[in-house]
């Protein structure tokens, strides 16, 4: 799913110039207004679709939502295959944004089918797959013609839909609907265990506690385990649950602040304006080659970050990587404004910056989305957080061009550096370590009024 989404979202980056030229593969060249829609239509689609995805996750289930959205991505390539009309291309880009809610679905789905000990790594693989999709898309755009690129994208999408048909529904979703036997079968499928094994019975017991939490925070997870039976709690609406659960409210606020701070560290700008930035910073190098190498660097960093989330932990990774991002932005800003050093310094930090970002702000907030929330609020809280990403991306890209023309690249990187340092500070003060913890243990960290800080 992540690979397909990476391919779809990066595809417009190397077709903009083609679609504007007189040699366009479309029925006519796109106008400047149509190019603006072409660049931003996916974000509009995502803004519209993500709230719906949060509700459909609970109504249709994780697997069915994944299939539904993956089919939408496949339909994007079908439209591009059979139509060369500008209007239909814009419709396809809008549909790609609508189907991008698969990002939310995939994170929730993955977090619920894997063990707590590898949850961080497995959730982060969604970002790794997205980075690999970006790399594949850049390579396709640089080596194949337009039609061949479309056919490859269609093939990848169809293969993704077929692969999803082989999976089973998330056990936590099945338990929330009262299908305990099916939940046990799902766990057995993903763990490769016998359905009557003790590990599966323990998993089911943990899920029952997660679905019937102690909202007052007076009972520890250890005390909960000593209870012979877990009686179903009173069924609360979403808003009743949020009002009663202090831990859920704190987890949401902290995750939201970390997410917003991460987005405003600015990598979306580098991704969208990679070629003009490379032309400014490294005029002697090929912008296309530099952009491909940027995708390679981010893909490798994503793989490293996926492993580090369960080795170093979420909190240290966010703190130190944000500090590294801030330092990189300060070096780039001063270098682009004052040209105090040789061009190789610019080249090095043009890659250090996205690598540090990917290891911290580009990975950790998405892992937190998947693991901080109880099942009763996970879908809606996750939806709101993903929606905030699209809103922030739109705001950043909307104000970026006027800001760049007013102050230049140097001060822009100073802004990114400041926000990166603030991200590190906030994470140091407020973000607890959640590595390897169950969801009820994580709630215990947020239930207390003051949390002892873990070592970074």
How many CB atoms lie under 10 A from the CB of residue 233? Answer: 13
Q: Is the pLDDT at 417 greater than 90, yes or no? A: yes
**Mean pLDDT, residues 334-361:** 89
pLDDT band of 223, cuts 50, 70, 90: very low
The percentage of the chain sitting over the pLDDT mark of 70, rounded to a whole number, equals: 91
Residue 222: per-residue pLDDT: 43
**Which of the residue ranges 111-115, 161-165, 166-170, 255-259 would you say has the lowest mean pLDDT?**
111-115
- C-alpha 155/C-alpha 310 separation (Å) is 33
User: What is the tens place of the pLDDT at every residue in 267-288?
Assistant: 877 776 776 777 777 777 777 7
Q: What does the buried/exposed string (b/e) look like for 187-203 if buried means 16 or more CB atoms within 10 Å of the residue's CB?
A: bbbbbeeeeeeeebeeb
DSSP letters for 399-445: HHHHHHHHH-HHHHHHHHHHHHHHHHHHHHHHPPP-TT--HHHHHHH
Alpha-helix runs per DSSP H in 83-145: 86-99, 102-113, 119-143
**Which of the residue ranges 24-38, 277-291, 303-317 would you say has the lowest mean pLDDT?**
277-291
Q: Is the pLDDT at 109 greater than 60, yes or no? A: yes
In the 8-state DSSP scheme, what is residue 273?
T
Q: Is the pLDDT at 435 greater than 80, yes or no? A: yes
- Most confident by average pLDDT, 145-149, 186-190, 440-444: 186-190
Q: Cα–chain-centroid distance for residue 46?
A: 13
- Closest by CA to 242, choosing from 213, 219, 205, is 213
- C-alpha 431/C-alpha 328 separation (Å) is 23
CA gyration radius for the chain? 23
Q: By the 8 A CB rule, do 72 and 98 touch?
A: yes
Residue 330: per-residue pLDDT: 95
- The CATH number fitting domain 1-167, selected from 3.20.10.10, 3.30.230.10, 3.90.550.10, 1.20.1250.20: 1.20.1250.20
**Mean pLDDT, residues 367-384:** 84
- C-alpha 362/C-alpha 357 separation (Å) is 6
Residue 74: per-residue pLDDT: 92
- C-alpha 370/C-alpha 310 separation (Å) is 14
Spatial neighbors of 87 by CB under 8 A, at least 6 apart, are none
Q: How many residues does the chain have?
A: 456
Q: Is the pLDDT at 216 greater than 60, yes or no? A: no
Residue 403: per-residue pLDDT: 81
- Closest by CA to 239, choosing from 254, 230, 252, 257, is 252
The percentage of the chain sitting over the pLDDT mark of 90, rounded to a whole number, equals: 19
Residue 449: per-residue pLDDT: 58
**Which of the residue ranges 2-11, 58-67, 213-222, 330-339 would you say has the lowest mean pLDDT?**
213-222
Residue 218: per-residue pLDDT: 45
Look over the chain and give the mean of its residue pLDDT values, rounded to a whole number: 82
- C-alpha 6/C-alpha 4 separation (Å) is 5
**Mean pLDDT, residues 183-187:** 90
- Closest by CA to 346, choosing from 280, 257, 302, is 280
Spatial neighbors of 181 by CB under 8 A, at least 6 apart, are none
Residue 213: per-residue pLDDT: 67
User: What is the tens place of the pLDDT at every residue in 111-155?
Assistant: 888 887 787 778 878 778 887 887 888 788 777 888 888 899 899
Q: Is the pLDDT at 100 greater than 60, yes or no? A: yes
Q: By the 8 A CB rule, do 334 and 340 touch?
A: yes
User: What is the tens place of the pLDDT at every residue in 233-255?
Assistant: 556 777 888 888 888 899 999 99
- According to CATH, where is 1.20.1250.20 located in the chain? 1-167, 238-456
User: Considering the domain 238-456, what is its CATH architecture?
Assistant: Up-down Bundle (1.20)
Higher-pLDDT residue of 82 and 294 is 82
Residue 429: per-residue pLDDT: 93
- C-alpha 196/C-alpha 164 separation (Å) is 26
């Amino acid at each position: 799913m992540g690979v397909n989404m990476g391919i779809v979202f990066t595809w417009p980056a190397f077709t903009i110039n083609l679609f504007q030229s007189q040699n366009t593969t479309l029925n006519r060249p796109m106008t400047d207004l149509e190019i603006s829609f072409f660049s931003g239509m996916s974000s509009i689609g995502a803004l519209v679709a993500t709230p719906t995805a949060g509700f459909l996750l609970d109504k249709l289930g994780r697997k069915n939502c994944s299939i539904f959205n993956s089919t939408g991505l496949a339909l994007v390539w079908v439209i591009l295959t059979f139509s060369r009309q500008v209007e239909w291309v814009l419709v396809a880009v809008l549909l790609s944004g609508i189907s991008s809610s698969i990002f939310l679905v995939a994170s929730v789905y993955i977090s619920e089918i894997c063990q707590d000990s590898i949850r961080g790594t497995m959730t982060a693989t969604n970002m790794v797959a997205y980075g690999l999709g970006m790399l594949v898309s850049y390579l396709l755009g640089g080596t194949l013609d337009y039609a061949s690129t479309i056919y490859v994208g269609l093939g990848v999408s169809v293969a993704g839909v077929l692969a999803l048909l082989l999976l089973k529904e998330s056990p936590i979703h099945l338990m929330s609907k009262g299908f305990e036997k099916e939940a046990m079968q799902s766990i057995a499928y993903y763990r490769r265990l016998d359905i009557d094994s003790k590990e599966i019975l323990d998993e089911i017991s943990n899920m029952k506690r997660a679905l019937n939490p102690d909202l007052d925070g007076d009972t520890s997870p250890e005390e909960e385990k000593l209870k012979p039976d877990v009686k179903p709690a009173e069924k609360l609406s979403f808003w009743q649950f949020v009002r009663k659960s202090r831990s859920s409210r704190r987890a949401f606020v902290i995750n939201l602040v970390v997410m917003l701070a991460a987005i405003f560290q600015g990598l979306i700008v580098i991704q969208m304006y990679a070629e003009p930035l490379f032309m400014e910073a490294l005029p002697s190098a090929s912008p296309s080659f530099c952009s491909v190498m940027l995708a390679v660097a981010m893909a490798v960093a994503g793989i490293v970050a996926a492993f580090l989330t369960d080795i170093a932990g979420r909190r240290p990774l966010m703190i130190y990587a944000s500090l590294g991002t801030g330092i990189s932005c300060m070096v780039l800003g001063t270098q682009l404004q004052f040209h105090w050093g040789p061009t190789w310094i610019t080249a090095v930090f043009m890659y250090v910056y996205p690598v540090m970002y990917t290891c911290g702000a580009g990975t950790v907030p998405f892992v937190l989305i998947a693991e901080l929330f109880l099942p009763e609020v996970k879908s809606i809280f996750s939806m709101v957080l993903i929606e905030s990403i699209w809103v922030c991306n739109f705001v950043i890209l909307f104000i970026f061009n006027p800001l760049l023309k007013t102050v230049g690249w140097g001060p822009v990187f100073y802004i990114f550096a400041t926000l990166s340092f603030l991200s590190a500070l906030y994470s140091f003060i407020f973000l607890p370590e959640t590595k390897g913890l169950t969801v009820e243990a994580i709630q215990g960290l947020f239930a207390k009024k003051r949390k002892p800080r873990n070592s970074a």
